[in-house]
Copies of this chain bind each other. A is one copy, B any other.
Amino acid sequence: MQNAATSIDRLFNGDRRTVARAISMVENDTSQAREILKGVYTRTGGAYRIGITGPPGAGKSTLTNKLARFYRSKGLTVGIIAVDPTSPFTGGALLGDRVRMSDVELDDGVFIRSMASRGSLGGLSNKAKEAADVLDAAGYNIIMLETVGVGQSELDIASAADTTVVVLVPESGDGIQAMKAGLMEIADFFVLNKADRPGADQAVMSLKMMLGFRSHDAESWMADVVKTQASEGKGIDDVAAMVQRHRSWLETTGTFAKKRRSRLEQRIREIIEDQLHSEFWDSQRSRELHEKLDLLLHRQTNPYDVAAGLLEHFRNTGTRT
């Protein structure tokens, strides 16, 4: 693995092309990816990770762009992983939002990577975390994980970030809608973007009211709402200040270590699940499943007995290769 070792050295020195290549290897799951990630892991932990999520059209890319500029003005380097769920019939990430990134993209202290979902969102969120590890090991101070939508993948991204920001707009609906979409649980704080639009103050009030229902004691973090007009650069420093406030809270209460510990635990569980899955579904058991489907469609057996049979087969033979 001479090659991988050399790559990793270059990576630690922050060589952009090596960083880009390493992320591509991770994304395409090449044979070298695992070796690189093992090497990378020991150098991670230095970067602060910010998750940015929310419904489509909320202005996440613009906010990410402006925040990146803010951190650059403070002398920090920034890595951005933008997760773009993509339609299989377009065959690539939509580039519209990324175009707006171009001014920070020319900055050598900012590394931006879009990752598109081809197939499983679960797999993508693992790869986004691995790409964040690569950027972390390469020495970027701040890593932003930006993701579109309001579903399981966002909960996953959230669990990979130290601070999770949920971006809404006045049209996103009120606090009850945010709660129904599961955003209340993952938000360390909310950003109400496009705050010049009608209904902004009501949206903020409604979010604050719902946040007030969260059970908390003197020790716990009080999530709040920050208003921005990201496209005008308004409120960006307030967002950065809120990230800093949350970071301080995490560190002084010991929550930071706990959060990173549980993130690590989650990561190992995911690696194991991937591995078990591929061991289980070898060609023999896949074939057996397909043979059983006809019996099932004719209601001559049931899914639970078929599953039990395949599991029995795995127990007896599948794991002794």
Contacts and interface: CB of A to CB of B under 8 A. Distances in A.
A134 B315 CA distance: 31
B87 A299 contact: no
Interface stretch (A3-11, A181-189, A245-253): A181-189
B319 A314 contact: yes
Contacts of A88: 185
A305 interface: yes
A113 to B, nearest CB: 17
A139 interface: no
A149 B179 CA distance: 11
A15 to B, nearest CB: 22
Nearest to A312: B319
B275 A180 contact: no
Contacts of A43: 299
A174 to B, nearest CB: 8
Given A149-B150, A182-B85, A315 B305 contact: no
A257 B297 contact: yes
Given A151-B153, A257-B297, A315 B320 contact: yes
A150 B184 contact: no
Contacts of A221: none
A103 interface: no
B57 A173 contact: yes
Interface stretch (A24-32, A34-42, A71-79): A34-42
Interface string A52-63: 000111000000
Interface of A: 34, 37-38, 41-45, 55-57, 84-90, 94, 96, 117, 121-122, 148-155, 171, 173, 176-182, 184-185, 213-215, 257, 260-261, 264-265, 267-269, 271-273, 275-277, 280-281, 289-290, 292-293, 296-297, 299, 302-307, 310-311, 314-315, 319-320
List 6 A-B pairs, minimum CB-CB distance, nearest first.
A151-B151, A152-B152, A56-B177, A41-B302, A57-B173, A271-B307
